[in-house]
Chain A
Amino acid sequence: MMPLHFKRLGLAGALLMVLAACASSNPAGSIDAVSQLTQAQTGMPLRLVSDAEGQAARQAAVRELLAKPVDAAAAVKLAMLNNRSVQISLAGLGVAQAELAQAGRIENPTFSFARVRSGDEVEYERAFKIDLLGVLFIPWRQGMASQQLDRAKLQAASDITRLALDTRKAWVNAVATRQSEQYLADVNEAAEASAMLAKRMLEAGNFSRLAYTREQAYYADASAQLARARQASVVAREALTRLLGLSGQEAAALVLPERLPDLPVAPKPFAGSVQAAVSLRHDLQMARFELDALARSLGLSRATRLVNALEVSYLRSDSNEGHRARGYELELQIPLFDWGDAKVARAEAIYLGAVNKAADIGIRAESELRSSYHGYRTHYDLARHYRDQVVPLRKAIAEENVLRYNGMLIGVFELLADAREQVGSVNAYLAALKAFWEADADLEMAITAGSPPAAGSMELAASPTPAAAGH
């Protein structure tokens, strides 16, 4: 504490004004920054709801989105508006922002007045105290708080992107399970027709009890499968409802489209994914940013120049089998240079730790991108294979079988068994399409928010269900 006399106050006050001017406690700027980071995945600006007016606006937006069948983009918007974790992330930004503002402020000056009486003499002492050392540290404190805010922004962006992509996957799952349920309902209906006809055949004396019972058993199985599919459909819808933060009437009002979106005409190229990841992926950004900040704080100005590069090159080769091999290099240049002076040994140790952490993140990101892209591409090819090969083949078989039925070469029960198999192939296509859209979200996660869930556990589309047992 350094008491100052009044006459010096003018100068000190001017200094304080300068120091404290830059930091505001309003997080709007930070929220805008996070909005921009997440815009591609969320499709909308983010808003911290802090008053009744904001709340009303949010409710209106939710109502508007729920008025139509909710597609994937609308589902993500709903989650952004409604899911509380978005508000928690944004509120966290407010905290970091406030801390930054606080860091720019000098502790309140103290004014003291003392009256000391010594015999007849009365002495008045007036003092104005200010934490001058604190003032001197303001730039450093602000630097720390600013870093903290930047970290918070990236963390919020990562969390929000993850939520957006999780929502998209939940939406895909909800639509697909519903669609699958409808296909199984068709299978069930075919089984029901067979069972009804078998019953009439038995009644007319044209079917044995064995033949009749086989059809009934198949119908019973199909009904059980349908019940399971309905359960899966409800579970998937509820999982989505939770992510959308819907309750009560809003949850009931949620209408999903009948079908998953079609497969894109062409798959995304791998190079694009890598390029995007280098500039977008939040953990890479954070690592780069921290390394940069560390270098600056340690006075390693040369280092920042060198660490700057997370370079990407895209490798592509065509083999004679028509298979296109794709690869790339994601290169994190790690600056190791002669530190020269033993005085900076501590700084070196800290810096090296950070460099290795960044390198680790780089390696992980690289592998995750490869793995996610492979999943994306495999599911794209599989879905296309089902759509362009398996389903048309089944359809052609079904058409041929109708011709055979016309010619009394096969009976109606064979025709129905085949129709069930055809539905099964459509269902398998649906499963492949669902896997593709999930892989698409995972790839986007690997490009932006960070590690996608359990890379490598690829579910391949199952064989047509249910098997035509006994036919």
Chain B
Amino acid sequence: MTNRRDFLHGAAAGLLGAATVSRVGAASLPEAAIQTSPTMQPPLQPTSGRPYNPVVTLNGWTLPWRMKNGWKEFHLVAEPVVREIAPGMKANLWGYNGQSPGPTIECVEGDKVRIFVTNKLPEHTTVHWHGILLPNGMDGVGGLNQPQIKPGKTFVYEFEMTKSGTFMYHPHADEMTQMAMGMMGFLVVHPKNPAFMRVDRDYVFLINAYDIDPGSYTPRVNTMTDFNLWTWNSRAFPGIDTLVARTNERVRIRIGNLTMTNHPIHLHGVDFEVTCTDGGWVPKSARWPEVTTDVAVGQMRAIEFVANRPGDWAFHCHKSHHTMNAMGHDVPNMIGVDHRGIVEKIQKLVPDYMVMGERGMADMGEMEMPLPDNTLPMMTGMGQFGPIEMGGMFTTFKVRDNQKTGDYKDPGPYQYPKGTVAYEWTGELAEPTRAPAPAADEKTVTVIKPNGHSGH
């Protein structure tokens, strides 16, 4: 791995950023490109096969293919990878072709695809093609539809893409472990007619979640509900790429959920419609406007809208603890607790102790406190007006009048036209009349008198 990567870094300079390289010498196998950069790669324009409008994978890339005798051939290598979750944190994951999630596979309705899957994991695996209508023996459920792919073995999946839409792939062998380790990938089947459902920008990403103990690198795979890293394409804020659009472009964002809970995905600044699920395209008459769409477990949703309002729009899961990084779920709430006379006592034993949470947790967003190794702050990120106080499944969708077509680069903070930002009132402020708050009584709060232990 190390040698290969070193070679890659050397080679990448000459490859205009698309850090793909052949590593399979055998003539019968298509090359299995790998990608190690965690930043979003530009769309892979098709040079062979049927034409289509390629997608862009958040913090990811599309797997190159070759055409052979009318078959579109891909090569996936299941293997351990190291994924940067966000700057300052890396995870030991399993993935495909150098990354978790694996590369996006793009093909066209009617394509005959042949996918080679080489297993470089320490245990067996399979690949299930989620949502694809295919012969039963190609469905990839280990034991049920095929023998598992043993370590070191390569299997071949062959089927025809009978319909276009939004799909994904993931193992169906020791599935819980392998998905908790990050094994999954996006699969897009483009319509035969490139004009059908055409958009200007087509983003894709998978929702995943990990439980990585602060200070460690490898997910705990048996976690059922108490995940502490909520990620898109195995990245957490501030590591998730910014989505961009030129004003009035039509944008599609395809989202798949392979976590163990639902995610109400919310985009500011537009109304959108769900135009596609993993079952196929949604007829126009069946769509309704939303600003939040819930993506349930194992589901895929494609939302579409016209990006007609310039600015930096928040885009996130609406479960607020999913827009946080690792946090202690048992930490007591210190809001409103008077610390006078106690801090000194605690500092005598724990010199580095400082009070946190006495007024709320916003201090966390600003303070840069030393944390355990390989641990992202619970809330972080700086915006042009101050701390953004987010983590996890949060990024921004940036709409600009001057964003060039086909340019996916982050244009930087939005330059607000004068008078369009909320401002502080500096005029006279009369004390507003308020309703009286209910007084605390014996039942709400009981004060316990000191009981004299200090006499010892």
The chain A residues found within 8 Å of chain B, CB to CB, are: 186, 188-190, 192-193, 195-197, 199-207, 209, 211-212, 216, 219-220, 223-224, 226-227, 398, 400, 402-413, 415-416, 419-420, 423
Contact A199 B450 (CB under 8 A): yes
Q: Which of B348, B369, B372, B451 contacts A400 (CB 8 A)?
A: B372
Closest to A213 in B: B448
Q: Which of A192, A211, A212, A403 contacts B371 (CB 8 A)?
A: A403
Q: Mark B419-456, 1 if CB is under 8 A from A, else 0.
A: 00000000000000000000010001111101101101
Contact B346 A193 (CB under 8 A): yes
- Measured between beta carbons, the chain B residues less than 8 angstroms from A412 are 332, 334, 346, 353
- Measured between beta carbons, the chain B residues less than 8 angstroms from A201 are 332, 334, 337
Closest to A418 in B: B350
- Measured between beta carbons, the chain B residues less than 8 angstroms from A415 are 346, 350, 353
Q: How far is the CB of B85 from chain A (nearest CB, A)?
A: 15
Contact B371 A413 (CB under 8 A): no
Q: Which of B448, B450, B456 contacts A188 (CB 8 A)?
A: B456
Grouping DSSP codes into helix (H, G, I), strand (E, B) and loop, the A interface class, with mixed when no group exceeds half, is helix
Closest to A402 in B: B352
- Measured between beta carbons, the chain A residues less than 8 angstroms from B336 are 204-206
A197 to B377, CA, bound (A): 26
Whether a CB of chain A sits under 8 angstroms from the CB of B70 is: no
Contacts A190-B346, A205-B440 known; list 13 others, CB within 8 Å: A189-B349, A203-B448, A204-B336, A205-B445, A206-B335, A226-B456, A404-B372, A406-B369, A407-B214, A409-B326, A412-B353, A416-B349, A419-B346
A196 to B103, CA, bound (A): 55
- Measured between beta carbons, the chain B residues less than 8 angstroms from A188 are 456
A191 to B342, CA, bound (A): 11
A-B pairs with lowest CB-CB distance, top 9: A406-B369, A223-B456, A193-B345, A409-B328, A419-B349, A411-B331, A403-B372, A204-B336, A407-B371
- Measured between beta carbons, the chain A residues less than 8 angstroms from B335 are 204, 206
Contact B332 A206 (CB under 8 A): yes
A223 to B456, CA, bound (A): 6
Contact B345 A192 (CB under 8 A): yes
A15 to B181, CA, bound (A): 110
Contact B331 A219 (CB under 8 A): no
Whether a CB of chain A sits under 8 angstroms from the CB of B68 is: no
Whether a CB of chain A sits under 8 angstroms from the CB of B356 is: yes
Contact B350 A404 (CB under 8 A): no
Q: How far is the CB of B168 from chain A (nearest CB, A)?
A: 32
26 examples of A-B residue contacts, CB within 8 angstroms? A186-B348, A202-B448, A203-B448, A204-B335, A205-B336, A206-B332, A206-B335, A206-B336, A212-B448, A216-B453, A224-B456, A226-B456, A398-B350, A402-B350, A402-B352, A402-B353, A403-B371, A405-B356, A406-B356, A407-B326, A407-B369, A407-B371, A408-B364, A410-B331, A413-B332, A416-B350
Contact A195 B453 (CB under 8 A): yes
- Measured between beta carbons, the chain B residues less than 8 angstroms from A205 are 336, 440, 444-445
Within 8 A of A (CB), among B307-348: 326-328, 330-339, 341-342, 345-346, 348
A191 to B331, CA, bound (A): 18
Q: How far is the CB of A183 from chain B (nearest CB, A)?
A: 11
Contact B331 A206 (CB under 8 A): no
A405 to B336, CA, bound (A): 19
Closest to B447 in A: A203
Count residues of chain B with CB under 8 A from any CB of chain A.
46
Whether a CB of chain A sits under 8 angstroms from the CB of B370 is: yes
A12 to B447, CA, bound (A): 105
A201 to B353, CA, bound (A): 18
- Measured between beta carbons, the chain A residues less than 8 angstroms from B345 are 189-190, 192-193, 196
Closest to A206 in B: B333
Contact A203 B445 (CB under 8 A): yes
Question: Contacts A196-B345, A400-B372, A407-B369 known; A220 to B364 CB distance under 8 Å?
Answer: no
- Measured between beta carbons, the chain B residues less than 8 angstroms from A212 are 448
A406 to B333, CA, bound (A): 15
Contact A408 B456 (CB under 8 A): no
Grouping DSSP codes into helix (H, G, I), strand (E, B) and loop, the B interface class, with mixed when no group exceeds half, is loop
Q: How far is the CB of B220 from chain A (nearest CB, A)?
A: 15
CB-based A-B contact count at 8 angstroms: 138
Contact A406 B371 (CB under 8 A): yes
- Measured between beta carbons, the chain B residues less than 8 angstroms from A197 are 337, 339, 342
Q: How far is the CB of A196 from chain B (nearest CB, A)?
A: 5
A188 to B456, CA, bound (A): 9
Q: How far is the CB of B339 from chain A (nearest CB, A)?
A: 7
Contact B341 A409 (CB under 8 A): no
- Measured between beta carbons, the chain B residues less than 8 angstroms from A407 are 214, 326-328, 369, 371-372, 375, 377-378
- Measured between beta carbons, the chain A residues less than 8 angstroms from B346 are 190, 193, 412, 415-416, 419
Whether a CB of chain A sits under 8 angstroms from the CB of B110 is: no
- Measured between beta carbons, the chain A residues less than 8 angstroms from B328 are 404, 407-411
Q: How far is the CB of B438 from chain A (nearest CB, A)?
A: 13
Whether a CB of chain A sits under 8 angstroms from the CB of B131 is: no
Contact B454 A192 (CB under 8 A): yes
Q: Which of B349, B370, B451, B456 contacts A406 (CB 8 A)?
A: B370
Whether a CB of chain A sits under 8 angstroms from the CB of B269 is: no
- Measured between beta carbons, the chain A residues less than 8 angstroms from B440 are 205
Q: How far is the CB of B261 from chain A (nearest CB, A)?
A: 21
Whether a CB of chain A sits under 8 angstroms from the CB of B361 is: yes
Closest to B378 in A: A408
Whether a CB of chain A sits under 8 angstroms from the CB of B43 is: no
Question: Contacts A403-B371, A408-B331, A411-B331 known; A190 to B349 CB distance under 8 Å?
Answer: yes
Closest to B213 in A: A409
Whether a CB of chain A sits under 8 angstroms from the CB of B357 is: yes
Q: How far is the CB of B191 from chain A (nearest CB, A)?
A: 47
Contact A216 B356 (CB under 8 A): no
Contact B456 A202 (CB under 8 A): no
A359 to B332, CA, bound (A): 71
Among A226, A227, A402, A410, find the residue whose CB has the most chain B CB atoms closer than 10 A. Answer: A402
A467 to B237, CA, bound (A): 41
Contact A223 B453 (CB under 8 A): yes
Q: How far is the CB of B363 from chain A (nearest CB, A)?
A: 10
- Measured between beta carbons, the chain B residues less than 8 angstroms from A410 are 328, 330-331
- Measured between beta carbons, the chain B residues less than 8 angstroms from A419 are 346, 349-350
A402 to B349, CA, bound (A): 11
Question: Contacts A192-B454, A223-B456 known; A199 to B448 CB distance under 8 Å?
Answer: yes
Q: Mark B105-126, 1 if CB is under 8 A from A, else 0.
A: 0000000000000000000000
Contact B357 A219 (CB under 8 A): no
Whether a CB of chain A sits under 8 angstroms from the CB of B264 is: no
Whether a CB of chain A sits under 8 angstroms from the CB of B194 is: no
A190 to B357, CA, bound (A): 20
A415 to B448, CA, bound (A): 24
Q: Which of A204, A216, A408 contacts B451 (CB 8 A)?
A: A216
Q: How far is the CB of B329 from chain A (nearest CB, A)?
A: 9
A413 to B445, CA, bound (A): 21
A366 to B444, CA, bound (A): 74
Contact A219 B453 (CB under 8 A): yes
